[in-house]
Amino acid sequence: FAAKHAGVIQMADILPARRARGPNEPGGIKFGHFGDMIQADRKYPNDPVKATLEVVGAGAMLFDQIWLGSYMSGGVGFTQYATAAYTDNILDDFTYYGLDYIKKKHGGIGKAKPTQEAISDIATEVNLYGMEQYETYPTTLESHFGGSQRASVLAAASGISCSLATANSNAGLNGWYLSMLMHKEGWSRLG
């Protein structure tokens, strides 16, 4: 209901005046609170990838589709790219590949040091795997029909893999950015 009618959900902190369209909008939900609301760690304690992907899917829905798409841009359809995070198993495949890679190459979850060398290695491997899958299987390109969808999914898989390997969120962010740069260099554009 809140998504369809852009309704106020009464769970968020106040936003800066230049961003707020009304009191207590979805954009004011703190990321930490949002992660706790999803409770994927409790539901999937032995599957950190699944737990992470649950938060990614919910975040794409709330922050990208509802907040940015409806509240901020007026519902112009820009949020279709966000559906790639939760409507098929492509992101899952890329991220589980990353988990297998960090177990094999870096000793497992949280074992790698958050160095540029480790981040470059993991993000490059995961990103190249994803790009190869898009090129090998045309149905993945059909499912993720826009460059922004592919860029977001590749970056999410790379960032999640780097975060899992190092237990460091900044390492994940750097993996995300490296993936975007690789996407641009490999396919000459992001969208």
- 0.75 surpassed by pTM: yes
**pLDDT (tens digit per residue) in 102-145:** 999 999 999 999 999 999 999 999 999 999 999 999 999 888 88
For 88-187, which CATH superfamily applies? Methyl-coenzyme M reductase, alpha/beta subunit, C-terminal (1.20.840.10)
**pLDDT (tens digit per residue) in 32-60:** 778 778 888 889 999 999 999 998 888 88
* pLDDT at position 28: 73
Domain ranges of the chain: 2-79, 88-187
> How many whole angstroms from its chain centre is CA 17?
28
Closest among 96, 85, 93, 63 to 164, alpha carbons compared: 96
